[in-house]
Amino acid sequence: MKTLEAQQVITSEDLLKHWQGHRALTRRLIEMFPEKDFFEFSIGGMRPFAKLVDELLAIAAPALKGIVNREAQPYTEGTEKLIFKAQYLAKWDEATEEINKYWEQLTIEDFSETFNLFGQYEFPIIQNILYFIDNEVHHRGQAYVYLRALNIEPPFFWER
Amino acid sequence: MKTLEAQQVITSEDLLKHWQGHRALTRRLIEMFPEKDFFEFSIGGMRPFAKLVDELLAIAAPALKGIVNREAQPYTEGTEKLIFKAQYLAKWDEATEEINKYWEQLTIEDFSETFNLFGQYEFPIIQNILYFIDNEVHHRGQAYVYLRALNIEPPFFWER
């Protein structure tokens, strides 16, 4: 028993909680953006926050669904055109529920298995999931700069 | 054996690799900043990248040392005044070695134990370590915007 335990450091439940904590913070940032700036504000030619959120939505629930069903669907972004922040928030909340639902179907064996995510990223599933989280933190860091540049005080990073 | 294994999803070794992969990317960003901009460029009143790297250096190796020795030293930043990027890169590489060294001393039991990091953050050690990583990804996301605003193409996020 010792040996296996000795190599593993986080539970599936805690990892979900960690991810959803990050997602709750990202949701707060969406809420804080002025409607217009959410869709238009940009620095250095980077995507406005709405486009980044399109990416986050195209990854999280669809990717987890693909993992659970072992279906390598291609990555598709912004199939549904959202034009209000409120629509993004509704989509975000739907994704939150979907993630919880699919997560329950993940077995432990799944995490170490290799899966060709979106038919493109062939890695152990744990690495894919860590990538979703990191990618969200990365783009949200970008959104923090946008808010500061707009003279809006963002929430503390450690508030989840 | 099943039960314990069934709740844990990443090995200590893989988590270190994950963190050091992120640190390698952050190092590349330090390298890419023009010397002057590393210390001075800022958007929206945020800290220049050098100050963010001061924070990352003040956390990573010192925090891990504190965890391993269970010594809740207070957080101290920029005790040594670095004035060249090359000094930061040298410090970064020292920290890389220290992190590897201290990580070896972490036992599995440590990850789930609570520790009062810097005498301020009382959490399970795994949460503290995930925080170090997230905090680095967050601030590096900020640095990506700085580079773009400086018309410099940053490395791909997934290059580690």
> Quick check: is A85 in a domain?
yes
Ordered per-residue pLDDT tens for chain B, 160 residues:
344 444 568 999 999 999 999 999 999 999 999 999 999 999 999 999 999 999 999 999 999 999 999 988 889 987 888 999 999 999 999 999 999 999 999 998 899 999 998 888 899 999 999 999 999 999 999 999 999 999 999 998 887 7
pLDDT category at A5 given cuts 50, 70, 90 is very low
> Quick check: is A57 in a domain?
yes
Q: In this predicted complex, what is the ipTM?
A: 0.91
Domain count, chain A: 1
For an interface test with A, the pick among B134, B140, B144, B147 (most A C-beta atoms closer than 10 Å) comes out as B134
Q: Could you tell me the two tokens for A20?
A: 């959803």
> Quick check: is A154 in a domain?
no
Please report residues of A whose CB lies closer than 8 A to that of B13. 7
CATH of the domain at B106: 1.20.120.450
> Quick check: is B25 in a domain?
yes
What is the overall mean pLDDT for chain A? 92
Closest Cα partner for B111 from B6, B13, B2? Answer: B13
Is the Cβ pair A145, B148 closer than 8 Å?
no
pLDDT for A2 equals: 41
> Quick check: is B75 in a domain?
yes
> Quick check: is A110 in a domain?
yes
Boundaries of domain holding A44:
12-149
* A105 interfacial to chain B (CB closer than 8 Å): no
**Nearest CB partner across the interface for A157, out of B6, B130, B135:** B135
> Quick check: is B111 in a domain?
yes
> Quick check: is B80 in a domain?
yes
pLDDT for A121 equals: 87
pLDDT for A158 equals: 80
Measured in angstroms, the CA of B86 and the nearest CA of chain A are apart by 25
In angstroms, rounded to a whole number, what is the distance separating the alpha carbons of residues B106 and B123?
16
